[in-house]
């Protein structure tokens, strides 16, 4: 058996044909032909409204997570490209480091942590021994 997939418009047309058939069955004995039906106001039960609102909220949250994940992916790609550029020029890494320290100092923080490479620290530690 082969599966057939219908688009939303196909399903809508099938539903409309079913509705038309139901209307015709009800109105033909009276000699009336219904051509168009308009729904002006629909009142939904509170429980159904809450369920629809919860579904919409879950859909919004899912879209937000997808957007956040795409942003993380772009950021990681940008970091990878930056690391490749910095790997080509070690002095660029030192300049970026100094620029970061300058930015931190401009924010008037009372404490600045100044990390040193482990290699530098090892030479100081060997002198003490």
pTM here is 0.46
Angle among Cα 73, 76, 100 to the nearest 5 degrees reads 140
Quote the pLDDT of residue 3. Answer: 47
Tens digits of residue pLDDT in 19-34: 888 888 888 888 888 8
Tens digits of residue pLDDT in 58-112: 999 999 999 999 999 999 999 999 888 888 887 887 888 888 888 887 877 677 7
Q: How far apart are CA 103 and CA 112, in angstroms?
A: 11
Quote the pLDDT of residue 67. Answer: 97
Quote the pLDDT of residue 128. Answer: 58
């Amino acid at each position: 058996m082969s599966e057939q997939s219908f688009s939303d418009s196909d399903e809508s047309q099938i539903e409309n044909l079913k509705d038309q058939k139901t209307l015709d069955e009800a109105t033909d004995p009276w000699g009336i032909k219904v051509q168009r039906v308009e729904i002006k106001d629909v009142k939904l039960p509170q429980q159904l409204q809450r369920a629809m609102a919860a579904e919409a909220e879950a859909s919004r949250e899912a879209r937000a997570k997808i957007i956040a994940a795409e942003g993380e992916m772009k950021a990681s790609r940008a970091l990878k490209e930056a690391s490749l550029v910095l790997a080509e020029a070690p002095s660029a890494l030192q300049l970026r480091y100094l620029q970061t320290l300058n930015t931190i100092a401009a924010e008037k923080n009372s404490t600045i942590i100044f990390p040193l490479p482990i290699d530098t620290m090892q030479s100081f530690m060997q002198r003490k021994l």
